[in-house]
Amino acid sequence: MQLKFFRASKPSETLEDEIELDITPLMNIFIILVAFLISMAIFTKLAIVEFTLPPNVDSSMNNSQEKPQPKLTVRIDKQYVGLVLGDKLLDSLPVVNNSIPFDSLSLRLQARSSETDFKGEIVVASVDQIPFKTIVKTMDICREAGFSKVGLSSATTDPGALQ
């Protein structure tokens, strides 16, 4: 048995002229895809939270004789929300059924901002497992209460453990 190999012959010029590439279906897909992407871009909503990082601490900070002034801090925990200044707990609001009393927090923040001069600075400190939405809402409440510079920090689970 002998195998025969056929050579593929080149198509003639007449066949080459007849072959056309139809890209109309591809263009239809692109038109639908562009319209879909534009409609999705309209419904996309971006939320931007502006905050500033602390300045770089260098060796010149160690030479100064000034004591750093403690900042007012909102400490968010699973059991309570506390207003802290340095080591002192100023106010404490209990968290009931995983619901933070934002209205009471707003009133307490407004009262504290008018009592003393904090230069519009406050820090929001949160323990682990607190939803990000809660932290952002707390930062917004701080801004509404008159604090223009809102910092973000993490809090320890047991505040007395570090002493």
Two tokens, residue 133: 């939405």
Least confident range from 53-57, 135-139, 156-160: namely 53-57
Where do runs of H (alpha helix) occur along the chain?
13-18, 24-43, 59-63, 102-115, 132-144
Beta bridge partners, 144, equal none
Look at residue 162 in the predicted model and tell me its pLDDT: 47
- The class level of CATH for 69-162 reads alpha beta
Across 87-106, b (16+ Cβ under 10 Å) vs e yields: eeebbebebeeeebeeeebb
Span 11-41, pLDDT tens digits: 556 555 666 788 899 999 999 999 888 887 7
Look at residue 163 in the predicted model and tell me its pLDDT: 45
Look at residue 92 in the predicted model and tell me its pLDDT: 85
Task: Break the chain into its structural domains and give their ranges.
Answer: 69-162
Q: In angstroms, rounded to a whole number, what is the distance separating the alpha carbons of residues 115 and 24?
A: 72
Taking the complete model, does pTM exceed 0.85, yes or no? no
